[in-house]
Chain A
Amino acid sequence: MANAITEEAVQKTVYEALPQFGVDEGDITREATFEDLDVDSLDLAELSQIIEDEYGVALKGDDVGKIKTVGDAIDLVIQKGS
């Protein structure tokens, strides 16, 4: 059963996932770009899996290419889930 999509919940999921990929917790903000955080396409594929597992929303294909910042990813999940 997918969890309810709220901005707070999705942000928590993303913020908790990124350190697994080697991102410094202190560097994570909504404005931080994935490039600056050294989060690449393989990391985003893993993040997508975590998001889909929790919220039933897939971050795949063209959508992912447009994501530049942590905030973009959170917003996209909310947009796709609504």
Chain B
Amino acid sequence: MSREVVITGVGAVTPLGVGARTLHERWSAGVVGITDGKGVATEFDPTEHLSVKEVRRADRFTQFALVAGDEALAEAGWSEELPYEGDKIASILGTGIGGIGTLERGKEILIESGAKKVPPLSVPLMMSNAAAAAVSMRFKLLGPCHGIVSACSGGADAIGAAKMMIESGLVDAVVTGGSEAALTPLSNAAFGALDALSKQGISRPFDKDRDGFVMGEGGAILILETRENAEKRGAKILGTLKGYGASADAYHLTAPDKDGGGPSRAMKAAMLNAGITPDDIVYVNAHGTSTGLNDAAETKALKMALGDRAHEIPISSLKSSIGHLLGAAGAVEAVATILALRDRIAPPTLGLENPDEGLDLDYVPHQAKPLDIGDKPAIAISSSFGFGGHNAVLALEAA
């Protein structure tokens, strides 16, 4: 029999604050967490949540995962005792870059003070699997543990990998998601050199005046387990991870395929995997980066994958509120999507004043709107696309 994968806990640290509900409520209320062109997680103080040793042993991207993990495990009812044997629980986390802040500090010390002064913690903190490792250690998860690295689709790809692990019977549950802390001088300069960042410092997906993405930081964790087990232990089920689809553009290292072919194939794959058709989808959480190329290609992809239905579905971008969290984006957006669906609400695309030519879908500008779906299941897709031509799409249904 199939092993249906459900979500029983979520946690998030974002530029809108600490907590998944904080993210959902503030985005839905139209709050923008971007200041001076950056989405900094200003309300996050690691020392409030972690010991001195834990803070020292974790790059900021790992700290986000640990704190979001605490929240998600508590919601799933796992804090006191794990409901499964440790070796049947995996830790699978996505990131785009990993501990680049640690890397940069180490390099500065190397240049300024020489090799003998480079901190011994440099490698264990910067490695892209550090967050997955730290989460496994904090929560005593003894099953498979690794990082998923696919740039800005890393978070969604991690959740997709987690789903397949549970379905295959390899594990009973996965602590999954993604995190990123790349608001560093090198990363800012490098994305700037690519002309990918907004010079105005404004994230306004689908607007004719959009001029690039605004970088943000944060992380999100989801607890996934089988419906059968979750029901047996009386867990509160937030929703179902119905489908995962992924594809490669095989086109360009940074630019998306202008025709949207890759993303549309990932969307179709996710629908097929979920056993749904475009008519079943009531909301789309877009990748919506606010770059000229992405938002145009994504709109084409949505039309290709969803047909006429694309014009009927509310589509919004969380990046209009918190910026682009790179490898964390897919995880944070999956959390935001499931909470939005539970409240039967489509949160807004903020800053969207004048949709660009050809961008003629319902992007839910300015303010949230209710999803008037009656008894229809609350099903959405959440898209993430990354440098390298990675496309990952999740299909989610709220309970």
Q: Using a CB–CB distance below 8 Å, which chain A residues touch chain B?
A: 20-22, 38, 42, 45-46, 49, 52-53
Contact = CB atoms under 8 A, between A and B. Distances in A.
Nearest to B54: A22
Given A22-B51, A22-B52, A42 B117 contact: no
A20 B119 CA distance: 13
Given A22-B53, A22-B56, A49-B119, 8 more contacts: A21-B52, A42-B57, A42-B124, A46-B119, A46-B120, A46-B121, A49-B117, A53-B116
A61 B119 CA distance: 17
A49 B121 contact: no
A21 B56 CA distance: 7
A53 to B, nearest CB: 7
Nearest to B119: A46
**CB-CB nearest 9 A-B residue pairs:** A22-B53, A22-B52, A45-B120, A46-B120, A22-B51, A42-B121, A42-B120, A21-B53, A52-B116
Interface string B44-82: 000000011100110000000000000000000000000
A7 to B, nearest CB: 24
A61 B56 CA distance: 24
Interface string B86-130: 000000000000000000000000000000110111001000000
A71 to B, nearest CB: 22
10 contacts: A20-B56, A21-B52, A21-B53, A21-B56, A22-B53, A38-B53, A46-B120, A49-B116, A49-B119, A49-B120
Interface residues of B, number: 11
A42 B57 CA distance: 9
Interface in B112-153: 116-117, 119-121, 124
Interface of B: 51-53, 56-57, 116-117, 119-121, 124
B117 A53 contact: yes
Contacts of A52: 116
Contacts of B119: 46, 49
Contacts of A38: 53
B50 to A, nearest CB: 10
Contacts of A49: 116-117, 119-120
A26 to B, nearest CB: 14
A20 B56 CA distance: 9
Contacts of B124: 42
A20 B121 CA distance: 14
Nearest to A44: B120
Interface centre among B51, B52, B120 (most CB of A within 10 A): B120
B53 to A, nearest CB: 3
B188 to A, nearest CB: 29
Interface centre among A21, A22, A53 (most CB of B within 10 A): A22
A23 to B, nearest CB: 9
A1 B239 CA distance: 63
Contacts of B52: 21-22
A38 B53 CA distance: 9
Contacts of A53: 116-117
Nearest to B118: A49
Contacts of B120: 42, 45-46, 49
Contacts of A20: 56
A28 B116 CA distance: 27
A49 B56 CA distance: 16
A79 to B, nearest CB: 21
B62 to A, nearest CB: 14
B110 to A, nearest CB: 13
Nearest to A53: B117
Nearest to B121: A42
A22 B116 CA distance: 23
A22 B58 CA distance: 13
